[in-house]
């Protein structure tokens, strides 16, 4: 009887062990198949590229260290005043890596940035500006949640001089903006990645036409007064919802074996639904209008690119112009400037 129980226990353990090994083996095979779908073997992918014109770097991992600054400001224009308000943006330091289509970056506020611009007030900001460069599609996504602005002086706006007197701080001024754009690259051998995410490079100078679409939401509001109209209506909230199309082009100049300069430009045509909310002596006030606007997007990069090293500077300047209802108008400007060092490591499939 004891022998039977012992053999049963041993068989049960062997059964559990065999089942566990089978499950682990299947999971490993499933993981391998999943990874092969995400990152197919080089031989099966390389045929998609004209390697006389581009280097897809399918077997290289790119590590990057970067510093980034996101600018955010808007112009407020009425019958009585024109003013520019800016967020007290901070420099950030980040790390990232890229492999084929997968790009991951993470950044924190730079420790040295808190030593400067303390007289510009406090800004609470979630300012995420993502730019994804696929072979044929370029995708821009952003989420901006900003509380607290300061008023730029005339010297800052027109002469780029530093202000010598106390700034007007508007902690009550807030902005919410969400948007995205998708553009198609007509030339399959043109690589936005050459200057913007370093995972692929071009072997020849070249350009492409771009066409796409764009959607967005903009809200500027305050607890006090945003606009004061002659009719004694005080506007506290300004909302613009827009959508449209974009057309443009891009070109990358390979200055010699390693140095390059890229320039991209697009003109965005948008139809906007604009609403305002406020109050007067007789109660709440609302207004509504439709507007058509044109606004440009410019992005550029310059740097040094070798088989292992990349050092470059790139910037994106974007905006949403002519958000106007009656005599009141808001022009919104946002930008991203990034300094990057990247190192490439060859890996095996």
Predicted local distance difference test score (pLDDT) of residue 8: 43
Q: What is the mean pLDDT of residues 274-293?
A: 88
Q: Of 303, 297, 340, 336, which Cα lies nearest the Cα of 64?
A: 340
Position 6 scores a pLDDT of 40
Q: 82 - beta bridge partners?
A: 77
Which pLDDT score is estimated for 296?
95
| pLDDT tens digit sequence for 13-57 | 565 656 565 556 555 555 456 555 555 666 656 667 777 888 877
| Per-position DSSP letters for 25-82, written without gaps between them | HHHHHHHHHHHHHHS--HHHHGGGS-TTTEE--TTEEEEEEEEEEEEEEEEEE-SS-E
Structure tokens at 96: 């990232």
Residue 230 reports pLDDT greater than 50: yes
Q: How many residues are listed for the chain in this entry?
A: 349
pLDDT in tens, 149-208: 998 876 555 444 454 556 788 889 999 999 999 999 999 889 888 888 888 888 899 999
Please enumerate in sequence order all residues whose Cβ is within 8 A of that of 281, keeping only pairs 6 or more positions apart, or say none: 232
State whether residue 50 is helix, strand or coil: coil
Read out DSSP for 78-94?
-SS-EEEEE----EEEE
| pLDDT of the residue at 154 | 60
Confidence of residue 113 (pLDDT cuts 50, 70, 90): low
- The helix/strand/coil state of 306 is coil
Where is pLDDT greater, at 100 or 186? 186
Q: Give yes or no for residue 85 having a pLDDT over 60.
A: yes
Cβ 141 vs Cβ 182: under 8 Å: no
Least confident of 80-94, 111-125, 329-343: 111-125
Query: For residue 293, what is the enclosing H or E element?
Result: strand 283-305
Q: Would the pLDDT of 244 be above 80?
A: yes
Please say whether the beta carbons of 295 and 321 come within 8 A: yes
Give the three-class secondary structure for 58: coil
Please tell me the distance from the alpha carbon of residue 234 to that of residue 222, in angstroms, as a whole number: 11
Residue 293 burial (CB count, 10 A): 19
Question: Pick the residue with more confidence: 129 or 120?
Answer: 129
State whether the Cα torsion 109-145-327-80 is positive or negative.
negative
**Contact yes or no for 262/252 (Cβ under 8 A):** yes
**Entry pTM:** 0.81
Phi, psi of 226 (to 5 degrees): -95, -50
- Average pLDDT across the chain, whole number: 82
Percentage of the chain exceeding pLDDT 90: 40
Mean pLDDT confidence for 76-104: 85
Q: How far is CA 135 from CA 37, 100, 186, 268, 327, in A?
A: 17, 11, 10, 22, 44
3-class SS shares of the chain: helix, strand, coil, % to 5: 20, 60, 25
Which CATH number applies to 39-346: 2.40.128, 3.90.550, 1.10.3470, 3.60.70? 2.40.128
């Amino acid at each position: 009887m004891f022998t039977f129980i012992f053999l049963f226990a041993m068989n049960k353990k062997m059964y559990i062990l065999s089942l566990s090994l089978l499950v682990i083996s299947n999971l490993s095979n499933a993981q391998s198949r999943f990874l092969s779908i995400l990152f197919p073997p080089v031989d099966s992918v390389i045929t998609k590229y004209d390697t006389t014109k581009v280097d897809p770097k399918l077997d290289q991992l790119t590590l990057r260290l970067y510093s980034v600054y996101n600018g955010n400001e808007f112009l407020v224009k009425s019958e009585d005043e024109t003013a520019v308000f800016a967020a007290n943006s901070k420099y950030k330091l980040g790390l990232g890596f890229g492999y084929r289509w997968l790009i991951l970056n993470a950044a924190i506020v730079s420790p040295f940035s808190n030593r400067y611009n303390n007289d510009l007030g406090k800004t609470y900001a979630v300012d995420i500006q993502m730019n994804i460069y696929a072979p044929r599609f370029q995708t821009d996504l952003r989420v901006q949640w900003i509380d607290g602005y300061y008023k730029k002086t005339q010297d800052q706006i027109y002469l780029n001089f530093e202000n010598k007197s106390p700034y007007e701080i508007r902690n009550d001024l807030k902005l919410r903006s969400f948007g995205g754009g998708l553009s198609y690259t007509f030339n399959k051998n043109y690589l936005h990645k050459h200057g913007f995410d370093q995972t692929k490079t071009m072997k020849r100078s070249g350009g492409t036409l771009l066409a796409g679409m764009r959607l967005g939401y903009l809200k500027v509001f305050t607890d006090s007064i945003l606009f004061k109209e002659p009719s004694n209506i005080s506007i506290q909230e300004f909302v613009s919802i827009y959508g449209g199309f974009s057309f443009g082009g891009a070109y990358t100049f390979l200055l010699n074996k390693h140095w390059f300069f890229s320039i991209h430009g697009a003109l965005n045509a948008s139809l906007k639904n604009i609403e305002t909310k406020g109050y007067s002596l007789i109660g709440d006030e609302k207004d509504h209008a439709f507007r058509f606007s044109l606004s440009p997007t410019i992005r550029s990069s310059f740097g040094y690119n070798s088989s292992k090293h990349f050092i470059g500077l790139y910037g994106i300047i974007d905006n949403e112009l002519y958000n106007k209802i009656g005599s009141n108008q808001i022009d919104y400007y946002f930008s991203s400037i990034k300094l990057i060092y990247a190192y490439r490591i060859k890996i095996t499939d």
